[in-house]
Amino acid sequence: MKTFAMKRNGCTEIIEQYTFDEWMVNFRPDGVGKISIGSFPGKIDTVTFTEVCCDFCNAEIVRDVREKENTRQSILHVLSGWTICEECAEQYKSEMKEVEK
């Protein structure tokens, strides 16, 4: 994992960058996501899923990305609890300045 401190509108935010496998180990150690849904008063169902989606654009994030003849592992970014794809992270970072170390 790599960590970046970025400034936007005078506020400093931390962006953590994970490979897909690192993200799974940290956020879904059992391999599935879970959402609790209340269908009736007092009744809560838990729904499981295996997809990983960007919390900004809703695109599905897959483990391997094919670029021309090469395959590389997807990079996921965690920003204030949101998991976002590389494209959204790049757009977000373009609006920010890296904090001097």
Where exactly are the structural domains of the chain? 2-98
Closest by CA to 82, choosing from 14, 12, 19, 5, is 14
- For 44-101, write each residue's pLDDT tens digit: 888 888 889 999 999 999 888 777 777 878 888 998 889 999 899 888 888 776 655 5
Residue 42, CB half-sphere, CA atoms under 13 Å: how many? 0
Site of tokens 């799974």: 24
- For 8-52, write each residue's pLDDT tens digit: 777 888 889 999 999 999 999 998 888 888 877 778 888 888 889
Across the chain, where does the E strand assignment appear?
2-8, 11-19, 33-40, 43-49, 64-67, 70-73, 75-79, 82-84, 97-98
